[in-house]
């Protein structure tokens, strides 16, 4: 895929979009990239990138969240002025995690004028193991709702079909078939298949759409 900046990650609640976003930031950092990750989820109080403030600080990754970024546990529905730099500075590599559902995507409409040149990526995380996105048709409807709410176009798909630590190869393959079909219907490229690290070996001889991204459960404690 052509390099564009920023990269916006969206998806339904429970799709794995935030886990993908933080692992994607991790991967790019390990490749020597200087990354800014922006937590724009002001809808869901759980599993937000801002919970990894200390983790990213150790990796020299800048994390932008609310106006109280140093106190990430304060649930403040605010957007930091620093977010504008993520949309305006094309030299800075920014990953933006947006709240699930059209309500969460509404915050993007504020920045649509900065992005309508098309110089950005907006990727949808697809998880077939969630009731509201369990079919190709439901995912296409959801994609259209996100685009209408955000006033932006989605141009990439992520196969994020999982069941947390119960994920099996069958889940990944089910998601792979679905994202290929969604891609055919929408013209959106399949950019990544996100796979929990513990089943990577089982997929070594299987051809999957997009690049493979091993996912560490950074946001979920072992007991979840």
Q: What is the CATH number of the domain that holds 115?
A: 3.40.50.300
Residue 41 CB burial class (10 angstroms; 0-12, 13-18, ≥19): buried
Domain annotation covers residue 63: yes
Domain annotation covers residue 144: yes
Domain annotation covers residue 222: no
The token duo for 14 is 């429970």
Distance (Å, whole) CA 147 – CA 178? 19
Whether 177 shows a pLDDT value over 60: the answer reads yes
Distance (Å, whole) CA 67 – CA 167? 36
Domain annotation covers residue 27: yes
Domain annotation covers residue 220: no
User: How many domains is the chain built from?
Assistant: 1
Please give the share of the chain, as a percent, with pLDDT higher than 70.
85
Domain annotation covers residue 49: yes
Domain annotation covers residue 2: no
Domain annotation covers residue 1: no
Chain centroid, CA 173 distance in Å:
20
Given a contact cutoff of 8 angstroms between Cβ atoms, the answer to whether 102 and 135 are in contact is: no
Residue 68 CB burial class (10 angstroms; 0-12, 13-18, ≥19): middle
Structural domain range at position 18 = 7-215
Band (25; pLDDT cuts 50, 70, 90): very high
- In this predicted structure, what is the pLDDT of residue 66? 56
The closest of 16, 12, 7 to 162, measured between CA atoms, is: 16
């Amino acid at each position: 895929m052509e390099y564009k900046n920023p990269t916006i990650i969206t998806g339904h609640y429970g799709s794995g979009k935030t886990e993908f976003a933080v692992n994607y930031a991790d991967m790019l950092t390990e490749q020597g990239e200087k990354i800014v990750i922006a937590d724009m989820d002001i809808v869901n109080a759980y599993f937000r990138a801002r919970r990894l403030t200390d983790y990213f600080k150790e990796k020299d990754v800048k994390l932008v969240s609310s106006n109280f970024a140093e106190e990430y546990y304060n649930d403040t529905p605010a957007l930091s002025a620093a977010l504008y730099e993520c949309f305006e500075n094309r030299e800075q590599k920014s990953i933006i995690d947006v709240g699930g559902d059209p309500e969460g995507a509404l915050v993007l409409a504020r920045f649509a004028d900065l992005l309508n040149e098309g110089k950005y990526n907006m990727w949808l995380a697809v998880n077939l193991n969630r009731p509201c996105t369990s079919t190709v048709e439901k995912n296409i409807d959801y994609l259209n709702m996100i685009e209408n709410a955000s006033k932006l176009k989605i141009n990439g798909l992520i196969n994020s079909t999982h069941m947390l630590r119960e994920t099996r190869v069958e889940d990944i393959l089910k998601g792979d078939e679905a994202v290929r079909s969604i891609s055919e219907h929408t013209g959106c490229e399949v950019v990544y298949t996100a796979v929990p690290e513990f089943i990577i070996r089982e997929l070594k001889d299987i051809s999957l759409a997009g690049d493979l991204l091993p996912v560490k459960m950074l946001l979920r404690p072992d007991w979840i």
